Amino acid sequence: MRGSRTLREISEQPAAWLAALTRFEKDAARVDRLFEEKPPDEVVFAGCGSSYYLSMTAASAFQQITGLRAKAVPASEILQFPESVFAQDASPMLVAASRSGTTTETLRAVKVVARQGIPTICLTCAGQSPLARSADLALCSPAGGERSVVMTKSFSSLLVLGLLLAAQRGDDAEFRRELRRLPALGRRVLKIALPLMREIGTTASRFVFLGAGPAHGIAWEAMLKMTEMAQRTAMAYHPLEFRHGPIAVAAPGTVAVIFGTNAGATLEATLVRDLREHGATVVVLRDDQSREADAEVSVSLGVGLSDAARSVLYLPFAQALAYWRAVGAELDPDRPRHLTSVVRL
Q: What DSSP string runs through 240-299?
A: GGGGTTGGGG-STTEEEEEE--STTHHHHHHHHHHHHHTT-EEEEEES-GGG--S-SEEE
What is the per-residue pLDDT across 34-51, written as a single tens digit (0 to 9) for each?
999 999 999 999 999 999
pLDDT higher than threshold 90 for residue 288: no
pLDDT higher than threshold 70 for residue 341: no
CA dist., res. 101 & res. 111, Å (int): 13
The stretch 56-74 carries a mean pLDDT of: 98
Fill in the DSSP letter of residue 324: H
Residue-level pLDDT at 290:
62
Residue-level pLDDT at 313:
98
The stretch 234-250 carries a mean pLDDT of: 94
Residue-level pLDDT at 271:
93
CA dist., res. 41 & res. 92, Å (int): 6
Residues 6+ apart with CB under 8 A from 81: none
pLDDT higher than threshold 90 for residue 140: yes
CA dist., res. 138 & res. 131, Å (int): 8
* Domain 188-328 superfamily per CATH: Glucose-6-phosphate isomerase like protein; domain 1 (3.40.50.10490)
Contact of 72 with 43, CB cutoff 8 Å = no
Residue-level pLDDT at 4:
87
Question: How many other CB atoms are there within 10 angstroms of residue 62's CB atom?
Answer: 28
* Domain 4-171 superfamily per CATH: Glucose-6-phosphate isomerase like protein; domain 1 (3.40.50.10490)
pLDDT higher than threshold 60 for residue 339: no
Residues 6+ apart with CB under 8 A from 232: 204, 205, 206, 207, 226, 325, 329
The stretch 255-268 carries a mean pLDDT of: 92
Residue-level pLDDT at 171:
97
pLDDT band at 120 (very low <50, low <70, confident <90, very high): very high
The stretch 116-139 carries a mean pLDDT of: 97
Q: Give the amino acid at 223.
A: M
Residues 6+ apart with CB under 8 A from 325: 201, 202, 204, 226, 229, 230, 232
Q: Give the amino acid at 139.
A: L
Q: What's phi and psi for 312, nearest 5 deg?
A: -65, -35
pLDDT higher than threshold 90 for residue 217: yes
The stretch 102-124 carries a mean pLDDT of: 96
**Does 4-171 match 188-328 in CATH topology?**
yes
Residue-level pLDDT at 338:
59
User: Percent of the chain at pLDDT above 70?
Assistant: 95
The structural domains of the chain, with segments of one domain joined by +, span 4-171, 188-328
Contact of 223 with 272, CB cutoff 8 Å = no
Question: How many other CB atoms are there within 10 angstroms of residue 285's CB atom?
Answer: 25
CA dist., res. 286 & res. 310, Å (int): 9
pLDDT band at 266 (very low <50, low <70, confident <90, very high): confident
pTM: 0.96
